[in-house]
Chain A
């Protein structure tokens, strides 16, 4: 009786041959019932029904005993060692067939099953010796599996399509939201820009328009040059840039022109609070700063 693994029948041939000088040759040969197998390639089921051909290599293990002194226990131990290696190798050879995973066979269980079958045949003294077919079609065996796989693929495809549709919908929603946010931000910037310019005097406006900065003179801490955008505020004392400061709102969503106005108002009213709150950065290299009153480059 051949041992079945999925659609493959494995024949087991045991040989025990006396050799010269009392030696014995033990041989296990595990061979498939066909040299080649053909089946429908289930992986291509929805593209084209392609017929694929597979081969299962036969496995052969042999061992020669020492001369004389062979006992039954020693022989069984030797058979057991050979069967162990041969069974696991034979299962691995079958496992290499591309569609083997569809039969959901446990490799370890199959190996132990084959090992048990070999040892049963050793005890019974039987052996398989059937003629190998040249080619065997195993498509019928896989019909049921084929239906299962087709259904699984259909469900996976439907899930993928639903996922794609959901992603597309989310992206559209996100883009719509982003467009609204951009419009809202633009409007907020225009409003804050109008507020800033309504608070600047004539000289400050001219400086802001021409040099993109506003200079604030303080009685105790020198001049401060505030850029009309992101960037540090430069402190200028006696025509020298002595430090730069970074100050911002705790809430980062407030438009930049409000931040500029806050710096201007705070420096005009409470420069000490500005200096104590802002992070101070020392000037490590000469910085070119234009101050409205001096019109010089420091």
Chain B
């Protein structure tokens, strides 16, 4: 599954295994507050390592959209792509 994150780098993306994608999804959308298991952490690609900093700082509450632009509230393994959008506020 392809994971994409809107970040200060622009489109920040990588391909992850289903198990890893689910863990990342739960973490980023705030469904899980537990730390990412060590065995999964090693499987997270290097480009996603900075997510750890986001988690540590509590910058969660991402919205996720699948490849058809549909908001994903529960992890769906059949999705081929997940786009994460950071937390929003009124301007």
Contact = CB atoms under 8 A, between A and B. Distances in A.
A266 interface: yes
B73 to A, nearest CB: 10
A277 B10 contact: no
B8 A265 contact: no
A262 interface: yes
Interface in B27-65: 59, 63, 65
B8 A262 contact: no
B90 A191 contact: no
A255 B88 CA distance: 14
A262 B6 contact: yes
Contact of B65 (A194, A250, A254, A265): A265
A265 B4 contact: no
B88 A249 contact: yes
Chain B contact-residue range equals: 20 to 34
Contacts of A250: 59, 86-89
A83 interface: no
Main secondary structure of the interface of B (DSSP, over half): strand
B88 A277 contact: yes
Given A251-B8, A254-B7, A269-B71, A277 B63 contact: no
Given A195-B11, A279-B91, A251 B69 contact: no
B86 to A, nearest CB: 5
Nearest to A250: B87
Scoring B10, B65, B89 by chain A CB atoms within 10 A of each residue's CB, the highest score goes to: B10
B70 to A, nearest CB: 7
Given A265-B69, A268-B69, A269-B71, A246 B10 contact: no
B69 A191 contact: no
A261 B8 contact: no
B88 A192 contact: no
A248 B10 contact: no
A243 B70 CA distance: 26
Nearest to A259: B6
B26 interface: no
A269 B87 contact: no
A194 B11 contact: yes
B9 A246 contact: no
B59 A248 contact: no
A72 to B, nearest CB: 88
A258 B11 CA distance: 8
B59 to A, nearest CB: 7
A199 interface: yes
A184 B9 CA distance: 8
A248 to B, nearest CB: 4
26 contacts: A187-B9, A188-B9, A189-B10, A191-B9, A192-B11, A194-B11, A195-B6, A195-B10, A246-B90, A246-B91, A248-B89, A248-B91, A249-B86, A249-B87, A250-B59, A250-B89, A254-B6, A254-B7, A258-B85, A262-B63, A265-B63, A265-B69, A265-B71, A266-B85, A269-B69, A279-B91
Given A250-B88, A261-B6, 19 more contacts: A190-B10, A194-B11, A195-B6, A199-B69, A247-B89, A247-B91, A248-B91, A249-B89, A251-B59, A255-B10, A258-B10, A258-B11, A262-B6, A265-B69, A265-B85, A266-B88, A270-B71, A277-B88, A278-B91
Interface of A: 184, 187-192, 194-195, 199, 246-251, 253-255, 258, 261-262, 265-266, 268-270, 277-279
Which 5 pairs across A and B sit closest by C-beta, in order of nearness?
A191-B10, A246-B91, A279-B90, A188-B10, A258-B6
